Structures are given as C-alpha cells and as structure tokens.
Structure 1
C-alpha cells in the first residue's frame, strides 16, 4: 500500500451564520472552497447536499433567522459536518417519504448520502452532524491516484531536501509545493535545451490536466 509521504494538514474550521434560505448558496460555496483546499474534490457534491439539507432543516423547523454555526473537521478519514442551533426541542427525524414528496426529504437525503449522522444535545443548543466517506487512509492522507503517487515519488528523488522524505510525515505540503515548482521549472529548462517550446508544453499540460479533472468530476457525479 502506498503511504502518503507528504501529509495534508486539514485544520477544523467553523462559520457562524443566520439560518435563512438565502444563506445556503454562500455556505455551499464555502464548502467547495475549503474541500478543494483540503484536496477532497470527490466529497464536494455530497458535502454541499448535506449542508443544504441540514441548514434547510433549521430554517423549516427552528425558524428563519436563527443564529447557527457550521463546523467542519476530519474524524479519522471521514469529513464531519456539524450544524449547531439553539433549539433543543426540534430534533431532526428520519421519516419515510415518497419520491414526489416535497416535505420530509431532508434527513432522508442526508441518511442516503452520509456514512452516518446523529444529534448531540447540549444544555442550550443541539448539534446535528453527519460524516462523509473520503476514500482516504487517514485524516492527513491524499486521494488514491496513480498520478499523484508518481509525482510524489519523483519529488522525493528531486527534492531540494531529500532527507526530509525519508521519514513518513516529515515533509510539509508547503515545502513540497516549493519543490514541485522547482521541478516544473527544471522540466521547462529541459524542454528548451532540447529545442522544444516551454510555453507550448505548459499549455498542453494545462489542457490535459483540465480534461482529466473534468472527466473525474463527471464520473463522480454519475
């Protein structure tokens, strides 16, 4: 099994907001940005759906304008999403619904999307949470992709600080990013030294990357 030699630090974060229908789009954008930064594009759609349904549940059953908090963290290899609100009486309930039902589908969608979900009652608030599978081996690992593993192996060889790659987990992403940029510059020098056009190579690499990324997004949505 491949071990991630460059761990991804995913710090917990939270955001206070008013539970209103118009806030949902902004919360979905925040989720997309943070999960992209965490290197988890495969979880974005599911996370956005869960946030939409959990917030809508607060709006519908607790009240529009209720002060609430969105908190996101890693629980082992899973992404944990929490919505905190001040009402300990209106508890989310999983009910049986039909396909064409407009009411009561929120928690059914969360239940179908998340690995698990639940509610934590505190003295003056409740937390409705769900956890999403990521496919990671650990909270700081990266997605399984032969191209990512190959690039990491090349970086380990070409790194300006190769000794840091000898021990699992000692190479930070920022340091590795610096080495990756240096490696890309070296490859462009190689292109020029062999009579190739570096700009054309960059353009072709960008097109290839975007095409593969698009294909992956489509397959995840299928």
Structure 2
C-alpha cells in the first residue's frame, strides 16, 4: 500500500516502500501508471515506468535482491521527479565514467531521456533520482488544477486522498463536488443551468472527440 501526501498546491507525492525483488517490478509499474493518470501526467507513463524499472533493477543487481527500498514520485507543474532510495552508500556504476555494457543499457537510455539526474546521500544510504519534463499542455494543466481541487475537497469531506484513483470514489466525490458548487452558484444569484451550459460548451470546444462519445444526443443514437 502506497502513501499519498500533498506537499504544495502544485506538487504531489507518492511514497512506496518495497523489497527490491523482480516480482515487485510489475506492481511498481502499475502504481506509476495509476498515479500519473490521477495527476494528469499520462504522457510520461512510458518514460516513468522505464525509469522505475531500471532504478529498481539496479538496486536488485548492485545492492542485493530483497533489499528494503523506497520509490518516491514527486509531481510538479511541468515535471516528474523519480527517486529510488536504498540503504547502500555505494553509488551505482552507471553514473561513473567509462561504464561498460555490464552496467545496463537501459540505465544509459534513462540518462539520455531524463532532463536531469543524479544521486544524493541520505541518513540511511542514498537516493538515485531523475527528472522527466512535460511539454506545455493546457488540457493537462486543467486536469492538474482539478486534481488539486479534488484533493482539497476530499479532505473537507473526510475522504482519504489515497483513495481518489478508485473509480467509484471518484464518481461519488465528483458528483458531490458539483452539487456543492451548484448550491454555491444559486446562493450567488446565478443560474446553474446557464453555468452548466457554458461549461459543456467549453468542454466540447477543448475535447470535441471525447465529448462526442459522451454527449446525451450521441448516446441516444
């Protein structure tokens, strides 16, 4: 079970302790996929999964199978930071000059695709990290802002943020938030139907393909 925490309005964190063993890699990749989708960062899923796989594999190979380790994902507005913590102070060979094929070609690929990377000493050992950059995308920024709102709303109604990725919880929470907003709209003397129509128009303009399949008229055909 991973721990989810919010550090800043524009930054989210996922902390996942695990034992560095080959069977754990598939679970790490699933966590990355689900978490990045929840953060509106799906374009980085492939790169992040590769990064996590290579960093965890490096711990298995060079620190030892079964080693206690921790994966940390930090999501900023335009980048994702991936950290792999372990209890060894020995820096991985792939950071050294003259590294040969024994160090793993995947790690060299990781260095090539990362915006930045490195190692840091920790009280318990070290952390190897890399940062993956996202291109500008207004739709993604809308999703990230909505994620921040949902996290804040979840705390207001006593909903654990770690449960947000679950579909049933998302549907219930989103419906509840919309109802609360409509009550607020009415309290301000505004027309909720007008607000909903405007929102639908903007959504259809931003995402015509997605809205075509979910619009009431389309479903009725």
TM > 0.5 between the two? Answer: yes
The alignment covers a number of residue pairs equal to 159
Query: Which of 149, 156, 159 is the aligned partner of 1:173?
Result: 149
Q: State the Cα deviation string for residues 90-116 of structure 1 (Å, max 9, x = none).
A: 434246679xx5752132021012101
Query: Which of 138, 142, 163 is the aligned partner of 1:144?
Result: 138
Contact kept in structure 2, 1:93 and 1:107, CA below 8 Å: yes
SS of residue in 2 equivalent to 1:21: coil
Structure 2 CA distance, aligned partners of 1:171 and 1:43? 17
Structure 1 CA distance, aligned partners of 2:219 and 2:118? 47
Q: TM-score, normalised by structure 1?
A: 0.59
Question: Structure 1 regions of 5+ residues with no counterpart?
Answer: 1-7, 137-142, 153-168, 188-197, 205-222
Alignment correspondent of 1:48: 49
Q: State the Cα deviation string for residues 111-161 of structure 1 (Å, max 9, x = none).
A: 01210110001243100000000124xxxxxx334xx79xx7xxxxxxxxx
Tell me which protein shows more strand as a share of its residues: 2
**Alpha-carbon distance change, 64 to 203 in structure 1, aligned in 2, over 3 angstroms:** farther
Runs of 4+, deviation exceeding 4 Å:
95-98, 169-172
Alignment correspondent of 2:206: none
Q: State the Cα deviation string for residues 157-195 of structure 1 (Å, max 9, x = none).
A: xxxxxxxxxxxx899634897269x837x96xxxxxxxx
**Alpha-carbon distance change, 199 to 170 in structure 1, aligned in 2, over 3 angstroms:** closer
Tell me which protein shows more helix as a share of its residues: 2
CA RMSD of aligned residues (A): 3.7
Question: Structure 2 regions of 5+ residues with no counterpart?
Answer: 1-8, 154-173, 183-192, 201-214
Q: Which has the higher contact order (CA 8 A, sep 6+)?
A: 1
Q: Does 1:124 align with 2:154?
A: no
**What displacement does 1:15 show?**
0.6
**Alpha-carbon distance change, 203 to 73 in structure 1, aligned in 2, over 3 angstroms:** farther
**What displacement does 1:200 show?**
4.7
Contact kept in structure 1, 2:36 and 2:42, CA below 8 Å: yes
Alignment correspondent of 1:34: 35
